[in-house]
Amino acid sequence: MIKAQINKRLIGANGSFELDVELQIAKGEFVALYGPSGVGKTTLLRCLAGLEQADQANIKFNGNTWVDTRLRINLEPQLRRVGYMFQDYALFPNMTVRGNVEFALRKGSSTHRINELIELMNLGELQHQKPETLSGGQKQRVALARALASEPSLLLLDEPFSALDTEMRSRLHNEVLRLQRSLGITTIIVSHDVSEVYKLAKRVFVMEAGRIAQHGTPADVFSAGQTSGKFRFTGEILALEPMDVLYSLTVLVGNQIVRVVAMPEEALKLSVGDAVMLVSKAFNPMILKLE
């Protein structure tokens, strides 16, 4: 279990602000840190990994004190047994794919684990290539394999899937989920993608300007207000046109364009570019199976 209380002054794009966070994560839990960029999510991960020092902090992992600024305790990152997947993957350019994964091996672990991970991550054919020859998705798989090769007791994923296309993303999501469950590693993912958070995390901490503004299950957190509608999508208004006594709104939801009608008094409060949530009762949508 992790118990962390971290306080650090940060310089953001709009002046300085304070990272002031307290969180508790159960062993084997998969949680997400969600929020826009520049609110301190990455700094929080780095403090947990020991790559950055907080001004004032207390971090305990499974009963061991990692950081206690009052007692001047600060365990080196080398001794924390953390698996960290960096935003830029941070693969070692001088080593092959296999070399990168092997480098992560702890003293005394068998190379058998390397073969397993290479197979699991589908890297067999690439294992003798250098990272610079790999695509973004392949690099991410290597980075994940390397993070796992060190047999971490805590896995930190910093926006690991942001550069991928939807299909690759979804495949890696399943992969991570499967691995995380079978290995039971406590995992924290930084993400600003609602669907990713929904899919992976049991619990989400929503961060705003250095603080945890909200936390709970993704379903709780992302259901804005409490409307009993079941069918909700966020989208962006592309066009508003009068249509008879009504208005027609063209809304971009994901990568689909949909049209909905609104009353004039609703439409007049909106303008092109506004973000809206479309809500419908669960009874309305008709379902057509796609072949």
Partner 1 sequence: MNSLKGQIVAIDSNNHMSLVDVAVGQDVFTATLLETPATADYLQVGSEVTLLFKETEIALAKNLSGMISLRNRIPVVVKNVVRGDILSAVTLDYAGKRLVSVITSRAIDRLEIKPGDPLEALIKANEIALMAGHDDL
Partner 2 sequence: MMTYDIQPLILTFKLATVTTAILLIIAIPFAWWLANTKIRFKPVVESLVSMPLVLPPSVLGFYLLLAFSPEHWFGSWLDKELGIRLAFSFAGLVIASVIFSFPFIVHPVQAAFQNLPKSLTDAAKVLGKSNVQIFFRVLLPNIKPALISGTVLAFAHTVGEFGVVMMIGGNLPNSTRVASIAIYDEVESLHYDVANFYAGVLVLSSFAILMVVYMVNRKARK
Q: Confirm or reject binding of residue 237 to partner 2 (CB under 8 A).
A: no
Buried b / exposed e along 129-161 (16+ C-beta atoms within 10 A): ebbeebeebbbbbbbbbbbbbbebbbbbbbbbb
- Alpha-carbon distance values, 216 to 23, 25, 33 (Å): 12, 12, 11
- Distance separating alpha carbons of residues 202 and 216, to the nearest angstrom: 8
Q: What is the DSSP string of 236-278?
A: EEEEEEEETTEEEEEEEETTEEEEEEE-HHHHTT--TT-EEEE
* 244 binding partner (options partner 1, partner 2, none; Cβ < 5 to 8 Å by kind): partner 1
The values of phi and psi at residue 212, to 5°, are -90, 110
* 106 binding partner (options partner 1, partner 2, none; Cβ < 5 to 8 Å by kind): partner 2
Q: Confirm or reject binding of residue 104 to partner 2 (CB under 8 A).
A: yes
Question: Site residues for partner 2, window 240-269 (CB under 8 A)?
Answer: none
Q: Name which of 263 and 268 has its Cβ closer to partner 1.
A: 263
Q: Name which of 80 and 173 has its Cβ closer to partner 2.
A: 80
Q: Confirm or reject binding of residue 155 to partner 2 (CB under 8 A).
A: no
Total chain residues near partner 1 (CB under 8 A): 17
What's the angle, vertex CA 168, arms to CA 90 and CA 144, rounded to 5? 35
* 88 binding partner (options partner 2, partner 1, none; Cβ < 5 to 8 Å by kind): partner 2
> 104: helix, coil or strand?
coil
Q: Kindly indicate which of the ranges 44-52, 166-174, 208-216, 233-241 contains the residues binding partner 2, using the contact rule CB under 8 A.
A: 44-52
Minimum distance of partner 2 from residue 46's CB (angstroms): 8
* 96 binding partner (options partner 1, partner 2, none; Cβ < 5 to 8 Å by kind): none
Q: Is the dihedral of CA 4, 219, 145, 153 positive or negative?
A: positive
> 131: helix, coil or strand?
helix
- Distance separating alpha carbons of residues 73 and 65, to the nearest angstrom: 8
- Distance separating alpha carbons of residues 114 and 149, to the nearest angstrom: 7
Q: Confirm or reject binding of residue 161 to partner 2 (CB under 8 A).
A: no
Of 1, 24, 64, 103, the one binding partner 2 (CB under 8 A) is: 103
* 213 binding partner (options partner 1, partner 2, none; Cβ < 5 to 8 Å by kind): none
Q: Name which of 95 and 278 has its Cβ closer to partner 1.
A: 278
Q: What is the DSSP string of 159-171?
A: STTTTS-HHHHHH
Residue with tokens 């960029």: 37
* 210 binding partner (options partner 1, partner 2, none; Cβ < 5 to 8 Å by kind): none
Residue 232 in tokens: 């909700």
Total chain residues near partner 2 (CB under 8 A): 25
Residue 253 in tokens: 């939801």
The binding track of 262-291 with respect to partner 1, each residue x by CB under 8 A or -, is -x--x------------x-xxxx-------
Of 78, 226, 256, 271, the one binding partner 1 (CB under 8 A) is: 226
Asked if 278 and 233 count as a contact pair (C-beta separation under 8 A), the reply is yes
Question: Site residues for partner 1, window 98-157 (CB under 8 A)?
Answer: none
Q: Name which of 35 and 83 has its Cβ closer to partner 2.
A: 83
Q: Which residues of the shown chain bind partner 2 in the complex (CB under 8 A)?
A: 46, 49-51, 76-84, 86-88, 90, 92-94, 103-104, 106, 146, 150
